[in-house]
Amino acid sequence: MPVALSEMFDRVLDPRKAKGRIHDLGPILSLAVVAILAGRSTLQGIAQFGRDHGSTLAHALGFRRGKTPCAATYSRIFRRLDIDAFEAVLREWILQRCLDLGQHLALDGKALRCSHDGDVPAVHLLALFAPMVHAVVGQIRVDAKTNEHKAALRLLGIVPVTGKIITGDAIFCQTEVTETLAKHGANYILHVKDNQPTLKQEIAELLDATATFSPGSVA
């Protein structure tokens, strides 16, 4: 039987020391999810959402006190939270509920809006999206020192892709990516552009030959 997301959050290691801890991590993360689903997109908005809905919401989400965390608490926790563990919990929760993801999964990278700060670049995320169930089934952060196709190798190793058709843009048209997909028993449809000039030329020549082919010309 699928486990509730709030219960799944109990599997994420709390980065805080036990001394002085007021709220458990599970309810804190649960409140963040509910607030974000309600349209709050900032730490202040999440904290205010908790205060606006009072003790009823607090008790429903598992807070042992009537009060909910402030924005500073969320800031400290989010900066120290184990993102890989958090993403693993979300991924497992989604896969428990979406037993059939459909045949198609899409690789796509995006810069997180409003995440840049001066000279600090925006956070870049790579996701594997299942269009049939409208859900991201895997997501990792792309480190500034790497690129999307390298991150894709890691992502494809943690999400089940056997029997799926993976689509992606030209940045994923790399030998390492296609070999990894083949190793995991997946098919793929990838764009070919100028980053693979030889392959692009071979495809163009093949298409030209096909277009000019006439069955009557064969002896």
pLDDT at 52: 94
Using the predicted structure, report yes or no on whether residue 37 has a pLDDT greater than 60.
yes
Q: Which two tokens stand for residue 51?
A: 């205060």
Q: Tens digit of pLDDT for each residue in 104-144?
A: 999 998 877 766 666 666 788 899 999 999 999 999 888 77
Residue 27: pLDDT band by 50, 70, 90 thresholds? very high
Mean pLDDT of 8-32: 92
The residue extents of the domains of the chain are: 5-84, 102-209
Indicate the DSSP class of residue 171.
G
pLDDT at 180: 94
Using the predicted structure, report yes or no on whether residue 147 has a pLDDT greater than 90.
no
Mean pLDDT of 157-175: 92
DSSP characters for 21-88? Answer: --S-HHHHHHHHHHHHHTT--SHHHHHHHHHHTHHHHHHHTT-SSS----HHHHHHHHHHS-HHHHHH
Mean pLDDT of 152-165: 92
Cα distance between residue 176 and residue 198, in whole Å = 17
User: Is pTM beyond 0.95 here?
Assistant: no
pLDDT at 215: 56
Using the predicted structure, report yes or no on whether residue 217 has a pLDDT greater than 80.
no
Count the helix, strand and coil residues of the chain and give each as a percent rounded to the nearest 5.
45, 15, 40
- Greatest mean pLDDT among 44-53, 81-90, 104-113 lies in 44-53
Cα distance between residue 112 and residue 57, in whole Å = 29
CATH number attached to the domain at 102-209: 3.30.420.10
Using the predicted structure, report yes or no on whether residue 12 has a pLDDT greater than 70.
yes
Mean pLDDT of the chain, nearest integer: 88
pLDDT at 118: 64
